[in-house]
Amino acid sequence: MTVTRADEARLTALLEELADLLTDTVDGGASVGFLAPLDRDEALAWWRGRAAAVAAGQLTVWVAQEGDRVTGTVSLALPDKPNSRHRAELVKLMVSRDARGRGLGRRLLATAEEAAARAGITLLHLDTETDSPAEHLYRSAGWTRAGTIPDYAASPEGVLRPTTLYFKQVGALAAGG
């Protein structure tokens, strides 16, 4: 399995596979911002928008592949304000249902954390559905719980669920410098 950073051209070349991953993730019950069933055209359009964000320097995306098949992805959303260039938001960590349980989520998370630190980012933050498998991953990877917001987002089934906010210091701050 390989994990590589995707530029706009690579992301565009992988639109079909990434749309399949997104629909699989939503169909599997993960709360990643969409309601089930997710229309494939909607998934394709969403990923096209991500390619434009990559081209604009607003988003960094990594894609995991097993052979030619996309099995996971993670992104960092980069802020555009001068007072927040030290931080980024970890977004859309997705692993296909048939690739779960093999450490890919942790590998994608570590890839994004390490790349952020190399880029001079010292603080990462994210939100995730409370009590979800993703929340366990973040806690076990050393992320700090900042708090929970009730009824923050609808699950893929349309039920309002709480969301927990997490942060992690990386780079110089994490090393004590």
Report the alpha-carbon distance of residue 177 to residue 165 in Å, rounded.
25
| Alpha carbon distances (Å) from 85 to 74, 137, 169 | 19, 26, 14
Give the list of residues 6+ apart from residue 171 with CB closer than 8 angstroms, or none: 116, 117, 118, 120, 121, 122
For a pLDDT cut of 90, what percent of the chain falls above it?
A: 95
Tell me the HSE value of 18 on the side-chain side, using a 13 A CA sphere: 26
- Interior/surface letters 34-55, b for 16+ CB within 10 angstroms, e for the rest: beeebeeebbbebbeebbebbe
| Adjacent-strand bridge partners of 5 | 62
Residue whose C-alpha is closest to residue 29's, from 140, 132, 162:
132
Instruction: Provide the 8-state DSSP code for 99.
Output: G
Radius of gyration, CA atoms only, the chain: 16
- pLDDT tens digit string along 111-147? 999 999 999 999 999 999 999 999 999 999 999 999 9
> Backbone phi, then psi, for 99, in 5-degree steps?
-110, 0
Position 22 scores a pLDDT of 98
CB atoms within 10 A of CB 110: 14
pLDDT at site 102: 95
**What does each C-alpha distance from 44 to 21, 29, 78, 100 come to in angstroms?**
10, 19, 22, 23
68-127 residue pLDDT tens? 999 999 999 999 999 999 999 999 999 999 999 999 999 999 999 999 999 999 999 999
E strands present in 11-95 = 59-66, 69-77, 87-95
